[in-house]
């Protein structure tokens, strides 16, 4: 009993101290005012919503995606909402020259960069693996290699500003369910690369934060179109999701789990009882609706 007390009371103190410290570490939208932020995949979905939040907070935004007409609309709206400045570069991230072009634009127009939000993904369908290796190769290039290239080109600028890299990933990048083999592989790769890089930055005392965002099902048009016939759950709102990503990045968090109870409990169950998680996942799917290609 005496020994238990000796251990229990100090650890309780530690927990309380930690709780107090992290509760004080609160987010204020002013943290983003005047900051220079790149958002990739900003023409639709969560990326578009992040652009609007950043605009309201008074950031400078540089947006990318392939569809120029949509980017023009998003940039216009950002300026209406109060962005310090808003511009875009269009092109495919499957093209190896685009990442450097985007960073050159940031350096030329802003002379630096505070936050790099990596969010774009190439198209992939929610179905049995078709055997299309070429698709895996291009998806890796778009969803993974271009993230590495963008971060590499941004790092000198982010070192100077003590800035942040935010990597948008998925529960499929931590737990592999069915019908997402190529996509899941690209998201696991992001975790491997960026979690390793984070530790190297710490060793080198480089003050650039890396936030990995583990997202559950979000109500973007493309996600709902891809999975709603198989996954009956209600998706979480993209507007709130976008704000949580920006908040986690600004607070230099290591990982974001959103929506938090659902993603958190899946990760916990995965480590405690992986077989149980697999069968729970499968029993919640409408397998008869999976389209075979």
Ligand X SMILES: NC(=O)c1ccc[n+]([C@@H]2O[C@H](COP(=O)([O-])OP(=O)(O)OC[C@H]3O[C@@H](n4cnc5c(N)ncnc54)[C@H](OP(=O)(O)O)[C@@H]3O)[C@@H](O)[C@H]2O)c1
Angstrom distance (rounded) from CA 236 to CA 138: 29
Q: Are strands 209-215 and 164-170 parallel, antiparallel or unpaired?
A: parallel
127 binds ligand X (CB under 6 A): no
Taking CB within 5 to 8 Å according to partner kind, which of ligand NAG, ligand X, none is near residue 249?
Answer: none
Both tokens of residue 245? Answer: 């990503």
Binding residue (CB under 6 A) for ligand X from 51, 93, 113, 151: 93
Q: Is 122 in the site for ligand X (CB under 6 A)?
A: yes
Query: Does the active-site annotation cover 183?
Result: yes
Write the binding mask 174 to 203 for ligand X: x where contact by CB under 6 A, - elsewhere. ------------------------------
CA distance 261 to 265: 6
Residue of 52, 183, 217, 258 with catalytic role: 183
Q: Which residue has the tokens 């934060």?
A: 209
- Give, as ranges, the residues between 198 and 217 that touch ligand NAG (CB under 6 A): 207
Q: Is 218 in the site for ligand X (CB under 6 A)?
A: yes
Assess 25 for contact with ligand NAG (CB under 6 A).
no
* 162 interface partner picked from ligand NAG, ligand X, none, CB below 5 to 8 A per type: ligand NAG
For ligand NAG, the binding residues in 74-133 under the rule CB under 6 A are: none
Rounded Cα distance between 175 and 281, Å, is 11
For residue 288, give the DSSP letter. G
Residues 6 or more apart from 95 whose CB is under 8 A from it?
none
Question: Taking CB within 5 to 8 Å according to partner kind, which of ligand NAG, ligand X, none is near residue 41?
Answer: ligand X
Q: Which does 67 bind (CB under 5 to 8 A by kind): ligand NAG, ligand X, none?
A: ligand X
What is the rounded CA–CA span in Å between residue 131 and residue 137? 12
Dihedral pair phi/psi, residue 174, rounded to 5°: -125, -35
Nearer to ligand X, 46 or 155 (CB): 46
Task: Name the nearest CA neighbour of 236 among 170, 147, 142.
Answer: 170
Of the candidates 70, 9, 60, 56, the residue with the CA atom closest to the CA atom of residue 36: 60
Contact positions vs ligand X (CB under 6 A): 41-47, 65-67, 70, 92-94, 119-122, 142, 168, 170, 215, 217-218, 220, 222-223
Give the residue numbers annotated as catalytic, written as ranges.
183
């Amino acid at each position: 009993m005496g020994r238990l007390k000796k251990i229990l009371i100090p650890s309780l103190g530690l927990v309380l101290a930690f709780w107090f410290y992290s509760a004080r570490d609160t987010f204020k939208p002013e943290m983003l005012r005047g900051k220079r932020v790149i958002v990739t995949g900003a023409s639709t979905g969560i990326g578009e919503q992040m652009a609007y939040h950043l605009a309201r907070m008074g950031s400078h935004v540089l947006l990318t995606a392939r569809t120029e007409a949509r980017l023009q609309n998003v940039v216009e709206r950002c300026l209406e909402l109060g962005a310090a400045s808003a511009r875009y570069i269009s092109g495919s991230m499957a093209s190896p020259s685009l990442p450097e072009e985007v960073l050159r634009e940031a350096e030329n127009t802003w002379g630096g960069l505070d936050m790099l939000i990596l969010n774009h993904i190439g198209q992939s369908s929610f179905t049995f693996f078709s055997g299309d290796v070429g698709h895996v190769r291009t998806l890796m290039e778009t969803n993974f290699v271009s993230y590495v290239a963008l971060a590499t080109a941004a790092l000198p600028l982010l070192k100077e500003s003590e800035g942040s890299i935010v990597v948008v990933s998925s529960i499929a990048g931590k737990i592999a369910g069915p019908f997402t083999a190529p996509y899941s592989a690209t998201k696991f790769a992001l975790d491997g690369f960026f979690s390793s890089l984070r530790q190297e930055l710490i060793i080198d005392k480089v003050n650039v934060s890396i936030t990995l965002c583990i997202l559950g099902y979000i109500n973007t048009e493309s996600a709902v179109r891809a999975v709603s016939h198989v996954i009956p759950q209600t998706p979480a709102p993209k507007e709130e999701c976008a704000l949580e990503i920006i908040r986690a990045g600004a607070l230099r968090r290591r990982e974001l789990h959103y929506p938090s109870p659902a993603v958190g409990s899946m990760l916990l169950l995965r480590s405690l009882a992986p077989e149980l998680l697999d069968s729970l996942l499968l029993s919640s799917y409408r397998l008869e609706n999976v389209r075979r290609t």
